[in-house]
Amino acid sequence: MATTADQLGISVVILAAGQGTRMKSRRSKVLHEIAGRPMVGFPVALARELSASEPVVVVGRDAEDVQAALAGQAKFVLQAEQNGTGHAVLCAQDALADARDAILILYGDTPLLRLESLRRMAEMLAADDADLVMLTSPEPLPGVVVRGADGRVSRIVELTDATPEEAEIREGNTGVYLVKPELLWKALAQVDDRNEQGEIYLTDVVGYATSQGHRVEALKLDSAEDCLGVNTRAELAAAAVVARRRKCEALMAEGVSIVDPANTYLDMDVTIGRDTLVEPGCVITGATVIGEGCHIKPHCTIEDSRLGDETVIGPSAHLRPGTELGRGCRIGNFVEVKNSKLADGVKADHLAYVGDADVGEGSSFGCGAITVNYDWDQKHRTTVGRDVKVGCNANLVAPVTLADGAVVAAGSTITTSVPEQSLAVARAKQRNIEGWRTRRREGGK
């Protein structure tokens, strides 16, 4: 047996085969997203950080979709018939044949566990010479922890099978166990489905272990939010609130200023550099990367984009996927940028659309300027050189190129390329009809 937690050979199995009927969804419960990540992706990420071995995910409903969502992150086994958590683990026995020192059992619908808790479980298994370490909640759960007169764990009782006295117990069973492989398989071979639900309970492993004289330890969580299970849409929303709060806290600890974390919506894979300020109402999703010293003003939406240092966005700007901004760019209110690469110092301060464009350093777009990138059949790119000035309400009909130093007059519709240092004017000549309003009032023409 290894003597330290770091030396433990831990294999991880994640149970993700439940029906999830209370979600009332056509999708598997574990594929519903929390902060931009499928729910089952959270325990998978923990497993990959904790253990060098590939985690095993037990799938059932929508197995192919779950496998696609986790491609390259885990290996999979099928629980064709849902006959309880113990049966689900048995389905993974062959896949876990190489498990060395311990098997960690996690759940695809419990996304908020912390890595620190799992490491503490490993430390207890190693230091205390325990055979099983279980994680418990400070609040009641469907299974409660029954302790003996000596205060040690005796067994787990499902509330559906509990006596009135047992139903009053406040310590809940999370179902997260770190257990020696030989004990796990021997116990599961002995338990049966003689209970109210007619299922093989994983919880019976604890009772078997204590009855056979094995040492069982329990680590009680400090907060019940860590083991929040998601079975309904309301619980999904509650878990998302916690995940986003933790994401904001982690970024603030690294030097990011977030004015109102409760009203800032960040996906788990978002990266933000130090000294960046994020104001309330912002939604930043996907694998967005924001540099240092940026200012994200209120009510911006940023999706799968990359922002250089000292860039200012908003308020109420929208950066769609594929946007890349250089250093010191300025994207103002009601500006939308999509699938475009803007070099250092590019400015579009208000009411503009830049889509499918490559824009050179120091260029600017006036109010109402847009790239016309779609011909009802396919998208076309606009190429804008360095130090180009696009006037207000100008339309750049792609494919088109504006060379370095070009200027587009306000109100122009540009359909052909503009040479370097040239002024392009493409608008109807103004005509003034004198006395028109007076004649109209008098009934004339």
> Rounded to an integer, what distance in angstroms lies between the CA atom of residue 304 and that of residue 359?
19
Q: Which two tokens stand for residue 9?
A: 């050979």
Secondary structure (3-state) at 16: strand
The distance from CA 259 to its chain's CA centroid, rounded to whole angstroms, is: 21
Query: Which residues are part of the catalytic machinery?
Result: 350
Backbone angles phi and psi of 104, in degrees to 5: -100, 130
> Rounded to an integer, what distance in angstroms lies between the CA atom of residue 257 and that of residue 279?
8
The helix (run of H) or strand (run of E) holding residue 57 is strand 56-59
Strand partners, 336: 318, 353
> Rounded to an integer, what distance in angstroms lies between the CA atom of residue 190 and that of residue 182?
13
Q: Which two tokens stand for residue 287?
A: 């694998």
Q: Which amino acid is at 331?
A: I
Residue listed under structure tokens 């059949």:
377
Q: Are strands 102-107 and 324-325 parallel, antiparallel or unpaired?
A: unpaired
Task: Yes or no: say if 67 and 28 are a contact pair by the CB < 8 Å rule.
Answer: no
- 420 contacts: CB under 8 Å, gap ≥ 6: 385, 403, 404, 405, 406
> Of 200, 223, 197, 62, which Cα lies nearest the Cα of 139?
223
> Of 275, 228, 220, which Cα lies nearest the Cα of 252?
275
